[in-house]
Amino acid sequence: MTRQIRTSPAACDQSLHQAYDTALLDLDGVVYAGGRAIGHAVESLVAARADGMHLAYVTNNALRTPEAVAEHLGELGIPTEAAEVITSAQAVARLIAEQVEPGAKVLVIGGEGLRVALRERGLVPVESADEEGLAAVVQGYGGPDLAWGRFAEASYAINRGVPWYVSNTDLTIPGARGIAPGNGAAVEVVRIATGAKPQVAGKPLPPMHRETVLRTGAKRPLVVGDRLDTDIEGAFNGEVDSLLVMTGVTDAEQLLRAEPRHRPTYVDRDLRGLLAGQPEVVPAAEGFRCGGWTAVALNSGVLELCEDDETGADGEAGRDPMDGLRALCAAAWTAAAEGVCTLDAAKALARLGL
């Protein structure tokens, strides 16, 4: 069966935290950045949970253990149990355990999260490529202090034919000071040295979705993330709805240019979107209207954005820029159909301050 191509953000009459039973939340760029809570994240999550929504934190960051992540969230003001945290380290450890003998030795290139996840699966983490009987190499984000020599250690083993697994391939990771290289950048270092292709467990691939479903038991989940190529594509692959929040690595221009598998069900400014419904984007003349904005794809190759004549809900200056972005998404995605929008949106986005 052919999947319908999304050409517009969807509407939702209910608040999202009431329409879905479980939020599968990314962490970096959604809940926190560089360890610090993102604006409105804590109060939004506490309110959603108090009103009955289950929260699960699904991260491609394999550095820390679920216990450490839960403790950190608690310190931020979000009470969390370790069982509510699902990491790519857990997903890759399960993937390896299904393909090697129990008690097999695995060379670890990364942090403590990987070691704990391997032990949970009955595997033995080791530090040297020279270990006798080495069954696998696993690579995950090791933080900014991971020694360069660890990439060489991985390369030695892989070049000898040892199977290579990686937790995720996110090229970047958001932090308090900006965007930094992620595990995917480190994976490229090893790939260049070996010419090998790893098995990948993390979002957007099926092993991570399977791990999440097994651990949460969600019936009607909503994936919440900031990355099109992991969070949103992972939701697409798992055939579940998604909410993109604009607090991480994805900017408005990238969203407009999203190919079908990267188009979220909903888009909002931050996690306050969980506590609200989502407005309808409707066809209007030759374009699309949302709130006080209308977006049109012109034959000149430009996306045009116009304010409607009527006053917005908060007065003339009170129209929500997110409504304008939603209208632009509909115009861009409809014009692109199965492809990528190439229309010039610079002036339209400047009007929204995005």
Instruction: Give me the active site residues, please.
Output: 26, 28
State which amino acid sits at residue 294.
T
DSSP letters for 89-120: HHHHHHHHHTTS-TT-EEEEES-HHHHHHHHH
Q: Where does residue 45 rank: exposed (0-12), middle (13-18), buried (19+ CB within 10 A)? A: buried
- CA separation for the pair 131, 165 (Å, rounded): 17
DSSP letters for 313-352: TTBTT---HHHHHHHHHHHHHHHHTTS---SB-HHHHHHH
Q: For residue 138, what are the β-bridge partners?
A: 108, 165
Cβ(221)–Cβ(240) below 8 Å: yes
Cβ(108)–Cβ(138) below 8 Å: yes
| 43's tokens | 């109060």
Cβ(16)–Cβ(273) below 8 Å: yes
Residues 6+ apart with CB under 8 A from 34: 174, 175, 176, 177
- CA separation for the pair 187, 165 (Å, rounded): 10
Residues in the chain: 354
